[in-house]
Amino acid sequence: MARLREPDGCPWDREQSFDSIKPYTLEETYEVLDAIDRRAWPELADELGDFILQAVFYAQMAAERGLFTIEDALDAINRKLVRRHPHVFGEESARTADDVKRIWGEVKAAEKARQTESQAGSHAAGLLDGVPRAMPALVEAQQIASRAAAAGFDWENTAQVMEKLDEELDELEAARRTGPHDAIEDELGDLLFVVVNLARFLKVDPEQALRRTNAKFRARFGHIERALAERGKTLGDSNIGEMEELWQQAKRQLKSGD
């Protein structure tokens, strides 16, 4: 990467900046996830290489500005892993994954407190200040909900979350009937946030759950297209009744593995 960024290197690589590379970082992240979902292990090796390249690219640009090097980044994660695993590298004890999560949270909170103290004149950091805003909304919602729950602001059981889900559905319907678009958007956001919390109570990763559903929809819709083609028809030649019939057929076949 250093060679590519030299004056006689690659014109495209030389023109890139931190901001211009960000979309590629997101793209490579999702390509890694896709390879894992498809269990495409040889592809995953390639995608991980592309993913690692993003870190190398950022580090090279930082080194050129005298900010930090790739070695600094690797040293930082090594120190962090040791610091946040005192049950492995220190005297703490952890018997379960929940114990580990508790210790991890305590160490992160202590790190945040030290960082705040070192910033003269800064205001005291709130519990949710450490949750980055620059991330997909679903991931942000997961982290916000988890931190609030760790502080005791949470439902007692899944049934209560389901009751809240029904409440939010009613409020969304009321907004749909009478409210302006902003009100509908607000209520839909509230509904999605409760769904994220429901996933947390059920110990399901909502991002992975949605990706699985997306994959199912792709497979079932593909079945509709192929079945219509066998009948000499296209989607435009069909109607919702016929497509629904083929959708149910796809559900049965894909569920049975046919």
Residue 118 scores a pLDDT above 90: no
The SS3 of residue 234 is coil
Does residue 217 share a domain with residue 187?
Answer: no
Does residue 179 share a domain with residue 219?
Answer: no
Across 16-69, the runs of DSSP E, i.e. the strands, are none
104, part of any domain: no
Query: Which residue range forms the structural domain that includes residue 146?
Result: 133-203
Residue 116 scores a pLDDT above 80: no
Domain count across the chain:
3
- Comparing CA positions, the residue from 119, 155, 149 lying closest to residue 131 is 149
Note the pLDDT tens digit of each residue in 214-233.
Answer: 999 999 999 999 999 999 99
Does residue 223 share a domain with residue 199?
Answer: no
Does residue 165 share a domain with residue 191?
Answer: yes
Does residue 249 share a domain with residue 185?
Answer: no
Does residue 232 share a domain with residue 183?
Answer: no
Mean pLDDT (whole number) for 25-41: 92
DSSP letter for each residue of 92-132: ----SHHHHHHHHHHHHHHHHHHHHHHSTTPPPPPGGGGS-
Note the pLDDT tens digit of each residue in 40-52.
Answer: 999 999 999 999 9
Task: List the CATH number of the domain containing 54.
Answer: 1.10.287.1080
